[in-house]
């Protein structure tokens, strides 16, 4: 049985559009749903090869995971726009909103709504794709920094990533306001500049923390991975952000400290060349014989030096004579980082108990027992 297609039917017009345009519209929509993943995969592979063949091969899985979905969404929006553009005359004939004002007659048709919707989605998905590219570039550079043990880059890269994303979304916002909602962007920016003082005053703490982040990055009082004590908290530095610095406390909890506090308050970086400095203070009542005190001090020093994890220099000093007590100050070093099976809190506790037992043998412990300076983490 032979089917004959009447090509003249394709040129017939219904509701202002030819039959061929309707067929193109349906065909592009169907093809988009069927081929969008394959097309997105092809574009992802092409972008990977353009960015550097060796790196692409080494990080193919990460590149696919980061870029595939946003590329797929962006292609879908573009192809849908092409499809709807085939029936643009039909959409223009459908009136969505009609109003008469002093400035004249206002008519909004479906075609205009669809065009603005596609423009909005195109800007949003393009920005998402740019952010994923930023994530992939950050992943590659961060991985190289870890391999090279470049602490400065490890500290700077997260901040640059956040700054790049903030800039991308800011540009996207202005693009949406100008292209979709027809806002006068130059006038808006001028108005924001005039109102910038009020905004800065309202967000004073945020602005202070933002500039404090750059102070920390330039002065480098600590780096990612260091063990610090600051603002009534201590822990390993995990990340320096725009507003705050995140620490991992010895008990595993996360402590968030505003950057301004780290800049304005005293800060102790206990990480010095692969070691962790520890200070221990113990009070003794007056009345201990000089010989007994000297022997006890030496015993504590020898016991610490014989400890499996304690490193030299080890100092045990009769440092201060207070009104009611004699202050014994003990300082020593621990390896940094500690072995995975050794926790810093249990290790300090065992050393504290050992020192306590030796001081207790003298029989004249002061009212304050010797404890390591380990303030409880305060999450903010």
Q: What pLDDT, on a 0 to 100 scale, did the predictor assign at position 77?
A: 92
Backbone φ/ψ region at 320: left (φ over 0), alpha (ψ -120 to 50), beta: beta
Residues 96 and 113: beta-carbon distance below 8 Å? yes
**pLDDT for res 160:** 84
pLDDT at 244: 87
Task: Give the pLDDT score at 364.
Answer: 56
H or E stretch including 101? Answer: strand 95-101
User: Could you tell me the domains of the chain?
Assistant: 13-181 (no CATH), 213-269 (2.30.30.60), 275-372 (3.30.70.100)
Q: How far apart are CA 128 and CA 67, in angstroms?
A: 9
Task: Report how far residue 113's alpha carbon sits from residue 111's, in angstroms, rounded to the nearest whole number.
Answer: 5
The 10 Å Cβ neighbour count of residue 249 is 19
Taking each helix axis from N to C end, the angle separating 110-148 and 151-179, rounded to the nearest 10 degrees, works out to 170
Q: Are 226 and 248 in contact (CB under 8 A)?
A: no
pLDDT at 117: 92
Q: What is the pLDDT along the chain (380 residues), one digit of tens a residue?
A: 444 455 567 778 777 788 888 888 899 889 988 888 888 888 777 766 655 554 555 667 777 778 888 888 999 999 999 999 888 888 887 777 777 666 667 777 788 888 889 999 999 999 999 998 888 888 888 888 878 877 777 777 887 888 888 899 989 998 998 888 888 877 777 766 655 555 555 557 777 887 888 888 778 888 887 888 886 788 888 888 878 888 888 777 888 888 888 888 888 787 766 777 788 887 887 877 888 888 888 888 899 999 988 888 889 888 888 888 888 889 888 887 788 788 878 888 888 888 888 887 776 554 443 444 333 344 43
The whole-number pLDDT of residue 123 equals: 94
**249: nearest Cα among 137, 81, 163, 378:** 378
Residue 44 has what pLDDT? 75
Cα separation, 372 vs 278, in Å, equals 8
| Per-residue pLDDT, 127 | 94
């Amino acid at each position: 049985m032979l089917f004959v297609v009447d090509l003249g039917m394709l040129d017939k017009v219904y509701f202002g559009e030819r039959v061929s345009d309707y067929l193109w519209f349906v065909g592009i929509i169907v093809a988009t749903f069927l081929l969008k993943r394959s097309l997105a995969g092809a574009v992802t592979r092409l972008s990977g090869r353009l960015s550097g063949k060796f790196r692409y091969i080494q990080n193919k899985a990460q590149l696919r995971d980061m870029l595939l979905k946003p590329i797929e969404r962006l292609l879908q929006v573009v192809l849908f726009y092409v499809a709807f553009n085939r029936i643009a005359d039909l959409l223009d004939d459908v009136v969505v909103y009609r109003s008469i004002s002093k400035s004249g007659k206002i008519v909004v048709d479906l075609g205009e709504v669809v065009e603005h919707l596609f423009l909005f989605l195109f800007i949003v998905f393009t920005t998402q794709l740019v952010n994923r590219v930023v994530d992939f570039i950050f992943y590659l550079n961060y991985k190289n920094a870890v391999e090279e043990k470049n602490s400065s880059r490890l500290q700077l890269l997260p901040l640059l990533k956040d700054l790049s994303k903030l800039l991308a979304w800011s540009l996207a916002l202005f693009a949406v306001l100008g292209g979709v909602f027809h806002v006068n962007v130059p006038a808006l920016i001028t108005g924001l500049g005039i109102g910038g003082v009020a905004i800065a005053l309202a967000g004073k703490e945020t602005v202070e923390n933002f500039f404090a982040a750059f102070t920390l990055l330039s002065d480098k009082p600590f780096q990612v991975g260091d063990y610090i004590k600051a603002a009534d908290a201590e822990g390993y530095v995990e990340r320096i952000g725009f507003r705050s610095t995140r620490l991992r406390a010895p008990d595993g909890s996360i402590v968030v400290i505003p950057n301004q506090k780290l800049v304005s308050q005293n800060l102790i970086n206990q990480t010095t060349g692969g070691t962790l400095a520890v200070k221990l203070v113990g009070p003794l009542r007056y009345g201990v014989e000089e010989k007994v005190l000297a022997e006890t001090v030496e015993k504590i020093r020898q016991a610490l030096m014989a400890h499996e994890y304690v490193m030299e220099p080890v100092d045990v000093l009769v440092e201060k004579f207070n009104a009611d007590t004699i202050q014994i100050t003990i300082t020593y070093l621990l390896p940094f980082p500690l072995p995975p099976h050794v926790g810093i809190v249990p290790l300090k506790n065992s050393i504290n108990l050992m020192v306590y037992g030796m001081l207790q043998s003298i029989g004249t412990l002061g009212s304050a027992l010797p404890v390591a300076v380990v303030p409880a983490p305060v999450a903010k």
